[in-house]
Amino acid sequence: MSDALLTLCSSGKMQPIRDLVAKVAATNTTILLRGESGVGKEVVGRAIHKASPRAAKQFLKVNCAALPSELLESELFGHEKGAFTGAYRQKPGKFEAAHQGTLLLDEIGEMPLRLQAKLLHVLQDGEFSRVGGEKIIDTDVRLIAATNRDLEASMRAHQFREDLYYRLNVIEIRIPPLRERRDEIPVLADHFLKKFNAQYGRSVEIPGETLRAFLDYEWPGNIRELENAVKRVVVLGSARPVHVEIVANLARGGRSTPRPGTAALEVRPSSDTPISLKDIARQAAREAERVAIKEVLDRVHWNRAKAARLLQISYKALLYKIVQCGLVVQDTEKDDKPKEVMAS
């Protein structure tokens, strides 16, 4: 059983999910994982793979929201040499690479309709051909789909195929948000603390008062947000900045994503939570910085050299601030992109 799954076991709310994982792992059924971003859909997907007879083969993930339609098609099904501009050589897709393994299609709700049709065909017939190719390729892949979208609404809006919906939704696993399973927070925080202390060679601790603030907080970014918070505690060598931010968030009603530009004005101590004026000022300054840095990074598609120039700080200073502000590079999808296409 994977490390993450052990942590996953700790909450009563997760018990039925753990049971379901054990039950469905041995079968070949398609699984639909649902839940807010950061709740652990991918972790559950991996756990299913690990507990399945396919464990020795590949587990691969494709984020359907990360690529435009043509690239996504090539990513999934591969392409033949010359299939499109930039296709300098033949490239197998993830369906081929995951043969006899498991393929997780993340953010399935974002898949373009044309590809939904192709995916349905693959699921029904177990075969496909590469982009620009004729050859029929057989595939034996266990499919797991994940989404934080209201697929039923997408279906009513004709953005998601009904037949594909029913084909995918054989077994549905709904993962509750972290705020509905707060008893997991201490266990998870401890898990991440150990992990990052080991990773950075530190021995930072989380004070009891910070842990209590963690327990009260809403965690709209779920486990991913908690993980980043603990990472910042370890990197900064102190829980103070994270604590101040969380307390300030609680003081303004638990909302975690302040409207840009208004953050500083909204930091207000409540009657029963002590927080110094100095801390409020520092927190507001950091919040303003965080919003500005995030905006610039998004604008330049996370080209950090470019962002540093625009923000008129050194590249190194920006990297530090990215960590300090808990802005983590979005996943590793970049590495998955077909190389020759990226070069073109």
The answer to the question of residue 38 lying near ligand ADP (CB under 6 A) is: yes
Residue 24 or residue 267: which is nearer to ligand ADP going by CB?
24
Q: What angle do CA 305, 310, 313 make, to 5 degrees?
A: 70
252 binds, among Mg ion, ligand ADP, none (CB under 5 to 8 A by kind): none
The answer to the question of residue 41 lying near ligand ADP (CB under 6 A) is: yes
Looking at 36-44, 135-143, 160-168, 229-237, which segment touches ligand ADP (CB under 6 A)? 36-44
Residues 130-149 that bind ligand ADP (CB under 6 A): 146
The answer to the question of residue 326 lying near ligand ADP (CB under 6 A) is: no
Cβ atoms of 101 and 139 within 8 Å: the answer is no
The answer to the question of residue 93 lying near ligand ADP (CB under 6 A) is: no
Q: In terms of DSSP H, where are the helices of the chain?
A: 3-8, 15-25, 41-50, 69-77, 94-97, 113-125, 151-156, 162-168, 185-200, 208-216, 222-236, 240-251, 263-266, 277-299, 304-311, 315-324, 333-336, 339-343
The answer to the question of residue 107 lying near Mg ion (CB under 5 A) is: no
Q: What angle do CA 126, 23, 147 make, to 5 degrees?
A: 60
Size of the site for ligand ADP (CB under 6 A): 17
35 binds, among ligand ADP, Mg ion, none (CB under 5 to 8 A by kind): ligand ADP
Residue 66 or residue 248: which is nearer to Mg ion going by CB?
66
Q: Determine the Cα–Cα distance for residues 176 and 174; give it in Å rounded to an integer.
A: 6
Residue from 75, 227, 245, 287 in contact with ligand ADP (CB under 6 A) = 227
Residue 45 or residue 78: which is nearer to ligand ADP going by CB?
45
Residue from 7, 42, 76, 225 in contact with Mg ion (CB under 5 A) = 42
Cβ atoms of 165 and 29 within 8 Å: the answer is no
The answer to the question of residue 225 lying near Mg ion (CB under 5 A) is: no
Q: Determine the Cα–Cα distance for residues 68 and 287; give it in Å rounded to an integer.
A: 32
The answer to the question of residue 291 lying near ligand ADP (CB under 6 A) is: no
Paired tokens of 195:
């992990």
60 binds, among Mg ion, ligand ADP, none (CB under 5 to 8 A by kind): none
Paired tokens of 282:
């520092």
- Which residue, chain included where needed, has tokens 């983590």? 328
Paired tokens of 233:
């505690």
Q: Which residues pair with 131 in a beta bridge?
A: 79
The DSSP bridge pattern shows strands 102-106 and 127-128 to be unpaired
Residue 229 or residue 251: which is nearer to ligand ADP going by CB?
229
* Residue 69, C-beta contacts closer than 8 angstroms, at least 6 positions apart: 112, 114, 115
Q: Is 91 helix (H, G, I), strand (E, B) or coil?
A: strand
Residue 40 or residue 338: which is nearer to ligand ADP going by CB?
40
Q: Determine the Cα–Cα distance for residues 334 and 255; give it in Å rounded to an integer.
A: 30
Residue from 48, 137, 141, 223 in contact with ligand ADP (CB under 6 A) = 223
The answer to the question of residue 35 lying near ligand ADP (CB under 6 A) is: yes
DSSP code at position 254: S
Q: Determine the Cα–Cα distance for residues 33 and 105; give it in Å rounded to an integer.
A: 10
When CB distances to ligand ADP are compared, the closest residue is 40
Paired tokens of 190:
């401890």
166: number of Cβ within 10 Å: 11
Looking at 32-40, 107-115, 301-309, 311-319, which segment touches ligand ADP (CB under 6 A)? 32-40
- State the minimum distance, in angstroms, from the CB of residue 55 to ligand ADP: 18
Looking at 37-45, 178-186, 243-251, 261-269, which segment touches Mg ion (CB under 5 A)? 37-45
Quick one: which of 183, 279, 176, 188 has its CA closest to 225? 188
224 binds, among ligand ADP, Mg ion, none (CB under 5 to 8 A by kind): ligand ADP
Question: Amino acid identity, residue 286?
Answer: R
Residue 78 or residue 109: which is nearer to ligand ADP going by CB?
109
Residues 180-219 that bind ligand ADP (CB under 6 A): 188, 191
**Site residues (CB under 6 A) for ligand ADP?**
4, 7-8, 35, 37-43, 146, 188, 191, 223-224, 227
